[in-house]
Chains A and B, each alone.
Chain A
Amino acid sequence: MSALYDLGAAEIAEKVTRGELKAMDVARAHLDRIDSVDGKVGAFLSVFAERALEQARTVDADVAAGRPVGRLAGVPVAVKDVLDIEGLPTTCGSRILEGYRPPFTATAVRRLESAGAVILGKTNMDEFAMGSSTENSGYKKTRNPWDLERVPGGSSGGSAAAVAARLAPIALGTDTGGSIRQPAALCGILGLKPTYGRVSRYGLVAFASSLDQVGPLARNTRDAALVLSLLCGKDPHDATSADEDVPDFVGAVGRGVDGLRVGVPWSFLEKGVQPAVLEAYRTALLTLEKAGASLVEISLPHFPHAIATYYIVATAEASSNLARFDGVRYGLRAREAGELRAMYGETRDAGFGPEVKRRIILGTFVLSSGYHDAYYVKAQKVRTLIRADFEKAFTHCDVVATPTTTAPAFRVGEKANDPLQMYLEDIFTVPANLAGVPGLSVPCGFASGLPVGLQLLGRPFDEATLLRTAAALEDATDHHRQTAAL
């Protein structure tokens, strides 16, 4: 480790605060790295070099003048292009929002900026966060830094690739069905989806409002804990944001796993997990056991129904949320259409990509007269059963551990024409969103040279236990220190 872009977020903030490092030099090192490497990776949709340098200059001036600086002083951050920053483009990876500049800033971004963060740019994503490979972006494909022929996962694939490629030490992503955890796993970094309600969604373009959460991606647990501490808290702009105590997540990281009960749902893992992934998973469990945790077999009988449930609930909500893209208030408008209804239809046909259309159609179908009870209400009931599985499991254990994905990163194009296969990619991640519980993916090994992630799921508002479990794994292994050669 020698370059400034190898440093973690906490390390940068400490050094900048102590005056040992200039925020300006850190920002320049990352912008240069983006210049030299991102042509291959394609993580960013936009880079705000001037603005970033200006933010860094302000931090340096504060340090020089002895003024107090925040806990992310001079830390470069990449932001998924689904979170608004006033006056800067937000595309959501969609052509329908090309050129859109929002009049407000997302609370999550504002909180990091208030803590001294330097926003480098906005990252690529599956259009409206719908996808598991970032191939559904209307702009470009992002590549996995570990193998440029493979996908980075999705939908926060640009954010995950940026952190893995050391274009930014930390990034913001969003997770509706696994969109932080799955790309984190496929790119060999840590990704955390907080409890539903933990982090304000103000300024986040909505996909499925009962499932969406904003969270951090980082290269180590300490950095993720630091960012989470800053993101949490009640926001008057988001009625669903929770007024819950925010514990000391950074302090939790060093606490170890002595006496911790790790739930292992063997029966849910029997089918369909690649042997090398299962091997990395078993090894991680043994590592935690060695560190003082105990393994408890648990049963999650309704989890095999989670994908079906999720793709009904999420598409139903999306079909409603995406009705706002109608060519009237922002974004694209089909010019030729003469009459209002035709303008709506043609704008949406021209602006949305195939996956978004597919989900709008599916979501509209399950809500339509005659099918509403059989699909949508039925799925909502199964959602209750999935949450009950969690509640029962957490009477026997403190965290649930699964692989984050069934296999490591797949090839670009491999699943692009098979939506159902792509949906099944989310099998281990969607239950947490349906139940509203927190989830995290931490590197736990490699399969044929590609990163594998361990997923940890916890009780509502107990992110601290997930972070300390992940930290125990990091302490005993060096998977998270491996970097992709670029």
Chain B
Amino acid sequence: MARVTVETVEHVAKLASLSLTSEEKETFARQLDEILTYAESIQALPTDDVEPMSHARTSEIFRPDVPHQSLPRDAAVAAAPDAADGLFRVPKIL
């Protein structure tokens, strides 16, 4: 199975929007390799006819589709590190 290298960690960190120091990358590569090696025990279990379980409550849950008051805009932006005119302000995207 997979061997976790520093390159793997770099790739995954990018997917997860996490900047890591080179020391963190090395530590995580070593530790994740150890954890995934341990987790390989499940690979030997026969599961061809087993349904995957995503949730303990699998029934569909519905509610009436009725409009209701959501969180007021001022309250929603109140905790933002930077907001203006009821909007979240972010650094430039392009």
Contacts and interface: CB of A to CB of B under 8 A. Distances in A.
Interface of A: 100-104, 196-197, 210, 236, 239-240, 242, 302, 304-305, 307-309, 311-312, 319, 323, 326-333, 337-346, 348-349, 352, 354, 357-358, 360-362, 364-365, 368, 371, 374-375, 377-385, 387, 419-420, 423, 435-436, 460
Contacts, number: 172
Contacts of A377: 52
Contacts of A346: 19
Contacts of B42: 305, 308-309, 378-379, 382
Given A242-B57, A340-B93, A341-B17, A357 B50 contact: no
Nearest to B68: A236
Contacts of A323: 16-17
Given A358-B28, A384-B50, A239 B19 contact: no
Contacts of A196: 56-57
- Measured as residues with beta carbon below 8 angstroms from the partner, the interface class of chain B is 35 or more
B79 A102 contact: yes
B45 A305 contact: yes
B60 to A, nearest CB: 10
21 contacts: A103-B71, A103-B75, A196-B57, A242-B57, A305-B41, A305-B42, A309-B42, A323-B16, A329-B76, A345-B19, A348-B19, A354-B27, A358-B28, A362-B35, A365-B2, A368-B15, A375-B36, A378-B43, A383-B53, A419-B35, A436-B56
A378 B81 contact: no
A357 B20 contact: yes
B28 A345 contact: no
Given A354-B24, A381-B47, A339 B91 contact: yes
Interface string B63-94: 10000000100011111111000001011110
Interface in B1-23: 1-2, 4, 8-9, 11-13, 15-21
Given A103-B71, A381-B47, A420 B19 contact: no
A311 B17 contact: no
Contacts of A349: 18-21
B88 A328 contact: yes
A214 B61 CA distance: 20
B79 A101 contact: yes
Which of B9, B11, B38 has most A Cβ within 10 Å?
A: B38
Contacts of B56: 196-197, 210, 387, 435-436, 460
A104 B27 CA distance: 38
Nearest to A367: B15
Contacts of B55: 210, 240
Which of B11, B42, B55, B81 has most A Cβ within 10 Å?
A: B42
Nearest to A243: B61
Contacts of B76: 103, 329
A420 B63 contact: no
Interface string B31-45: 110111011111101
Nearest to A348: B18
| 6 tightest A-B CB contacts, nearest first | A436-B56, A380-B52, A345-B19, A333-B81, A381-B47, A308-B39
Contacts of A379: 39, 42
Given A323-B17, A328-B80, A348-B19, A240 B57 contact: yes
A383 B35 contact: no
A236 B66 CA distance: 12
Nearest to A435: B56
Given A197-B57, A420-B34, A420-B38, A385 B45 contact: yes
A357 B24 contact: yes
A327 B83 CA distance: 12
Contacts of B8: 365
B92 A340 contact: yes
A101 B80 CA distance: 10
A361 B50 contact: no
B57 A436 contact: yes
Nearest to B88: A328
A357 B32 CA distance: 11
A30 B22 CA distance: 47
A345 B18 contact: yes
A387 B18 CA distance: 34
A304 B57 CA distance: 24
A354 B8 CA distance: 17
Given A240-B57, A374-B43, A384 B19 contact: no
Contacts of B13: 361, 364
